[in-house]
Amino acid sequence: MRARSSKVKKMAKQLTQFVCSECGNISPKWLGRCPACGKFNTFSEEPTATPDTGKTAHRPAPAKAIPLAAVTSERYERTGTGVSEFDNVLGGGIVAGSLILLGGDPGIGKSTILTQIAAHLSTAHKVLYLSAEESCSQVKMRAERLGLKCGNLLILNETCIDGLENELDGVEFCVIDSIQAVYTDALSSSSGSVGQVRECASKLMRIAKSRNITFFIIGHVTKEGALAGPKVLEHIMDTVLYFEGETQENFRILRAVKNRFGNVSEVGVFEMTESGIIAVTDYTGIFLSERRGEEAGSAVTPALTGARCMNVEIQTLTAKTAFGLPRRMSLGIDYNKLALLIAVLEKRCGIALGGFDVYVNVMGGIKLNEPACDLAVCAALASSSLGVPVDKYTAVFGEVGLTGEVRAVSSCEKRVAECVKMGFKRVLLPAKNMKSAVKYADKINIVPVLYVNTMIKTLFKGQTE
């Protein structure tokens, strides 16, 4: 009798379960709507906790608490990637045994840069490139196009990662291209689903930590937000990097959003060329157009991306709307922020944009999401609306409030220094920031502004009616 009941128990044993990502409710089968929290489409498949048959066989002895003073501090050995900007973003190089996630839109160049890095590393280390998306010959074609010497680079074309461990003998670095394309047999859901992505990543983490192998993991950012994308993995990773930029433009920004071995304020600037991705070390002026100052509708602002300050041009176009409802389109600036600034210009400065379509574009395809760019957007919009160009040697920065006042921003000194370095002759900045800018007063004409209206009067003096 007893034997029979244990057999029944064994048969009924679930290997996977479905967990609601909102409230953690567990169900033996997939449900469209969680009965506990009422949310739709939140169930994802996960393996059940350790099967009861295994008991605690693989469990190490419980850890003992020790005083922090007794802990020996480790110094991390770092390996260079061969791409200086990439090393900077990592905090000085790769730390052995770490998990590095590289996220970005499809086609941005993730496979390209990691092929370059893998080729560089393979000259002195054993490196494996797991290509789940492309065939071996496609990877070879890319390597040849980029002119890489990578005879020693191991390539594996496989989508199931359960057998990966057998291929990792002596391997120090491994690239997974991409996490959405691989799967594990532990789950029956298809590759790319939240459960698969998470399970594969934790599997890789266990391998990385137990065998001291560094994994570069590629993750696509999906257009519908980051579901099943890099966002669900961030907590497992040691370092999370995002590759940004417009795929049509040549410039790319590499940004760290999490780094256990370095600070996250570093960014890397890259250029996509015929022969691959190259680091841009002299980035001054790459985000400025040549015809600046001749046409109405553009303004330059010293913007902070990470710890770096770069002068970036914001271009705008206002055109009479053909339909009742004016269009607002923005690339690189938050859409809601644009709507707010248009309202401020209308109400506080008498610049009527209600009957005009407004288009905004940030040069070089980079995204500006700091408030210090507000004033430059206003300047560019006013310039376009009035039909008067902003002087070529003038830069503006400051946050704009709903009352039309110009608020102080951080890192003022750095921004003014960048303008001086770039040869600007005049900078309009928040009056409250004046103190930290005065030391440059002999090198550049510093104009404090209290209100957006004052800025417009200063910029277009005598040219508006």
Ligand X SMILES: Nc1ncnc2c1ncn2[C@@H]1O[C@H](COP(=O)(O)OP(=O)(O)O)[C@@H](O)[C@H]1O
Residues in touch with Mg ion (CB under 5 A): 111
Rama region for 326: left / alpha / beta (φ>0; ψ in -120 to 50; rest): beta
Q: Which residue has the tokens 């497992």?
A: 236
Count interface residues toward ligand X (CB under 6 A).
Answer: 11
* Minimum distance, C-beta of residue 127 to ligand X, in the bound complex (Å): 17
| Between 145 and 235, CB nearer to Mg ion | 145
* Minimum distance, C-beta of residue 233 to ligand X, in the bound complex (Å): 17
**109 binds, options ligand X, Mg ion, none, Cβ within 5 to 8 A by partner type:** ligand X
| Between 270 and 356, CB nearer to ligand X | 270
Contacts of 298 (CB under 8 A, 6+ apart): 289, 292, 313, 314, 315, 316, 380, 383, 389, 390
Tell me the residue number closest to Mg ion, measured at CB.
111
Q: Note whether 108 binds ligand X by CB under 6 A.
A: yes
Stretch that binds ligand X, among 45-53, 108-116, 158-166, 330-338 (CB under 6 A): 108-116
> What does each C-alpha distance from 4 to 1, 8, 127, 175, 378 come to in angstroms?
5, 6, 51, 48, 78
| Between 106 and 371, CB nearer to ligand X | 106
Within 10 angstroms of residue 275's Cβ, the number of other Cβ atoms is: 10
* Minimum distance, C-beta of residue 137 to ligand X, in the bound complex (Å): 14
* Minimum distance, C-beta of residue 110 to Mg ion, in the bound complex (Å): 5
**106 binds, options Mg ion, ligand X, none, Cβ within 5 to 8 A by partner type:** ligand X
> Residues 17, 25, 247, 265: which binds ligand X (CB under 6 A)?
247
Contacts of 81 (CB under 8 A, 6+ apart): 87, 90, 93, 94, 117, 120, 121
| Between 221 and 373, CB nearer to ligand X | 221
Peptide bond into 111 cis (omega under 30): no
| Between 276 and 398, CB nearer to Mg ion | 276
* Phi, psi for residue 208 in degrees, rounded to 5: -60, -45
> Among residue numbers 259 through 318, which ones bind ligand X (CB under 6 A)?
272
> Counting Cβ atoms within 10 Å, is residue 126 exposed (0-12), middle (13-18) or buried (19+)?
middle
Strands 356-362 and 308-320: antiparallel
Q: Note whether 245 binds ligand X by CB under 6 A.
A: no
> Residues 51, 107, 285, 387: which binds ligand X (CB under 6 A)?
107
> Among residue numbers 336 through 395, which ones bind ligand X (CB under 6 A)?
none
Residues in the chain: 465
> Counting Cβ atoms within 10 Å, is residue 433 exposed (0-12), middle (13-18) or buried (19+)?
buried
Q: Give the binding site for ligand X (CB under 6 A).
A: 104, 106-112, 145, 247, 272
